[in-house]
Amino acid sequence: MDRLPTIEDVARAARVSRQTVSNVLNTPAIVKPETRKRVEVAIRKLAYRPHASARRLRMRKSSTIAIRLDPMTNGISGALLDRFLHALTEQADARGIRILLFTAADPAAEIEQIRKLRAGADVDAFVLTATFHGDPRTEWLVENDVPFVTFGRPWGANDMNNPKHLWVDVDGFAGMREAAIHLIDQGSSRVGFVGWPSLSGTGDDRRRGWQAAVEERLSTSDTDLAALNLSVEDRLEDARDAVVALLESDEKIDGLVCASDTLALGAMIAAASVGRSDLPIIGFDNSPVGQAIGLSSVDQTLDEVAGGALELLLGQTGGDLVHRDAAAGDTRHRLITPHLVIRQPLRLLASDAASTPTATKSAVGNHKNGKETQ
């Protein structure tokens, strides 16, 4: 067949009416199983695909999911978000779903953009990133019955189990615990943690993973836990200065785990500047810059995150939004287990540390401002 197959071709091959084929495509439950199977076989044999635009008009759905394109300066690593968007777009396309990007300066502006997109029937559902304590966006979406999924847990906990709040997240506790245990298994006996200030849901989660590991394996005291725990903003310079002070005050530290690759690179520069280039350091995010310099890091497996977000919204194989009934016990979240990537790091000399180019710093990204989750 030189031309594209039509619904009439399917009907003729399956020996049914055109309406029956339409029913199989749009309301399969009303078609007898044996008839439905015959039509599905014909669809596969002919490689028939419904006309997407016509189907959207017929079903009064846009087959579109929207996500805010966050500014590079808002605290999310640009590389991390780029990788997530790429995975989300690629997997959505395989399901016949389009991704629409929009911008907004802050949560209030994002809510207004969502309201406009819904009012114009341009979008069926939304993916949110950078959730935080008391996030007004999720509250508004739940109250207005707008389908959505968040990349990040509802850290405020008020809607942790709300069936209208679907979420997918990376298990930072498990990832950081594995990183710390790896250093301990390699011989480290005094492992420090470089993280973000409190009230960062993700940062606190990763800190707990480090703490669990050193308490279990090293029986670290509360006093030592406090001494080994650094909290800084997610800036390379802040991490460098804090780690220099830590290493100068405690020469027994023989390993560091960090809540981001930005912090880990700052720690590497600090270690080199005090003559400790061999200090084992592990970051989090497996960023391109981290990979380039041989930094060991916890990979967030963003392909799985994107797949989990789409599955929560659309079901395992479907292309329509899933109707969820809390009483039916539908799964409302995905907690993705990250994996540790161990590399042989490039050796930084003190002279390198003193002249780290600004381009390298900005390439790592200001990953965290103490609130967002990714």
For 201-244, write each residue's pLDDT tens digit.
Answer: 889 999 999 999 999 999 999 999 999 999 999 999 999 999 99
The residue among 40, 44, 52 whose CA lies nearest residue 16 is: 40
Residue 328's pLDDT band (cuts 50, 70, 90): very low
Average pLDDT over residues 240-252: 97
Average model confidence (pLDDT) across the chain:
83
Same-domain status, 177 and 283: yes
Average pLDDT over residues 174-183: 98
Q: What is the pLDDT of residue 65?
A: 92
Same-domain status, 5 and 74: no
Is the model more confident about 56 or about 264?
Answer: 264
Decide if 142 is inside a domain.
yes
Q: Counting beta carbons within 10 angstroms of the beta carbon of residue 27, is it exposed (0 to 12), middle (13 to 18) or buried (19 or more)? A: exposed
**Residue 245 pLDDT greater than 80, yes or no:** yes
Q: Which of 121-125, 155-159, 341-345, 357-361 tops mean pLDDT? A: 341-345
Same-domain status, 327 and 267: no
Is the model more confident about 46 or about 54?
Answer: 46
Q: What is the pLDDT of residue 67?
A: 96
Average pLDDT over residues 249-265: 96
Decide if 372 is inside a domain.
no
Q: What is the pLDDT of residue 355?
A: 52
**Residue 282 pLDDT greater than 50, yes or no:** yes
Residue 326's pLDDT band (cuts 50, 70, 90): very low
> Lowest-confidence range among 130-139, 169-178, 361-370?
361-370
Q: What is the pLDDT of residue 73?
A: 44
Same-domain status, 76 and 122: yes
CATH number where 282 lies = 3.40.50.2300
Same-domain status, 223 and 80: no
> Lowest-confidence range among 144-148, 212-216, 368-372?
368-372
> Lowest-confidence range among 75-84, 133-142, 287-296, 334-343?
75-84
**Residue 370 pLDDT greater than 80, yes or no:** no
Same-domain status, 243 and 166: no
Same-domain status, 166 and 248: no
Is the model more confident about 18 or about 280?
Answer: 280
Beta partners for 333?
167
Domain range holding 221?
173-299+341-365
Q: What is the pLDDT of residue 347?
A: 67
Q: What is the pLDDT of residue 61?
A: 64
- Residue 98: both structure tokens together: 């389009």
Residue 90's pLDDT band (cuts 50, 70, 90): very high
* Total number of domains constituting the chain: 3
Cα distances (angstroms) measured from residue 154 to each of 112, 190, 233, 309, 322: 20, 33, 22, 14, 21
**Residue 354 pLDDT greater than 70, yes or no:** no
d(CA 197, CA 257): 15
Is the model more confident about 58 or about 286?
Answer: 286
Same-domain status, 232 and 199: yes
Residues 6+ positions from 271 with CB-CB distance below 8 Å = 243, 247, 256, 277, 279, 281, 348
- Residue 264: both structure tokens together: 């880990």
Average pLDDT over residues 138-142: 90
Decide if 309 is inside a domain.
yes
Same-domain status, 320 and 274: no
Residue 179's pLDDT band (cuts 50, 70, 90): very high
Decide if 52 is inside a domain.
no
Cα distances (angstroms) measured from residue 208 to each of 174, 213, 310, 362: 9, 9, 29, 28
Same-domain status, 154 and 256: no
Residue 360's pLDDT band (cuts 50, 70, 90): very low
Same-domain status, 151 and 291: no
Is the model more confident about 277 or about 370?
Answer: 277
Chain position carrying tokens 């031309």: 3
Percent of the chain with pLDDT over 90: 53
d(CA 176, CA 284): 8
Decide if 58 is inside a domain.
no
Q: What is the pLDDT of residue 317?
A: 47
pTM of the shown model: 0.74
Same-domain status, 185 and 252: yes
Q: What is the pLDDT of residue 62?
A: 72
